Amino acid sequence: MDETANGAVTLTSKIEIREWRTAIQSADVTNDGKCICLVTCDSMFYEIILGDEGPVVMPHDFGVMEAWHVRIAKSKSNYIITAFSGFLKEIDLSGKVSRQEPFPSAKTVGTLAYGSSNRRLAVSTFEGVLHIFDVATLKSETTIEAHSKRIRALAFLPGDDDILTGSDDKTIKLHSVGGERPKVERIYCGHRSSVLSLSVDDRADGTRFASSSLDGQ
């Protein structure tokens, strides 16, 4: 990536890994860029390791609709996927299901996010509900009716006690989930359409974040 004096950014493709038979439904990459996980629309799960000798692609087939969303744990030791059979499934580095927990809302999951310290996992739904899980046990910590519409974006602040949610209701909310009772700390209303993504600036110790929306901003 090259940035010019006027702030314009130019991206250069370094490698084409492969072509997929169907479109990609969900994908995630580690911070060092060496591991990529993706799920295609035919429910195939692919683990891609980028090494000095080129990419290594390892496909895994867990069954029809048994992989729909994917996120890589911050520890880089496993992955989490959602399954239409009604489960959250943790996948180990050998591509096997290491554990699973029932999750009745699996068919309506909007997105997933691990906390930066790998203590909590957030799962959102089309109904605007936010579920917080303990990563160590995959048990539910709390459930929040966060928005009136689908939640499309999640981002934990450092420490995993606060999380940002972005929704089709055009708002971004900052929730505190570390205490006895979750609460909304702040509401941001800067967008004119659905909020699509959120990213927290770790260098600013969680005091600054960026968002994007369907309105092109």
Q: Which helix (H) or strand (E) holds 79?
A: strand 78-83
Partners of residue 212 on adjacent β-strands: 197
CA within 13 Å, CB half, 162: 13
Res. 1: pLDDT tops 70? no
Integer Rg of the chain from CA: 18
d(Cα 156, Cα 105) in Å, to the nearest integer? Answer: 21
CA within 13 Å, CB half, 85: 13
How many beta carbons lie within 10 A of that of residue 21, not counting itself?
8
Q: What is the pTM of this model?
A: 0.87
pLDDT in tens, 123-158: 999 999 999 999 999 999 999 999 999 999 999 999
d(Cα 182, Cα 3) in Å, to the nearest integer? Answer: 41
pLDDT in tens, 60-119: 999 999 999 999 998 888 999 999 999 999 999 888 999 999 999 999 999 999 998 999
d(Cα 210, Cα 85) in Å, to the nearest integer? Answer: 34
Res. 3: pLDDT tops 60? no
13, 25, 108 from 86: Cα distances, Å: 38, 18, 10
Quote the Cα angle for 115-117-119, to 5°: 70
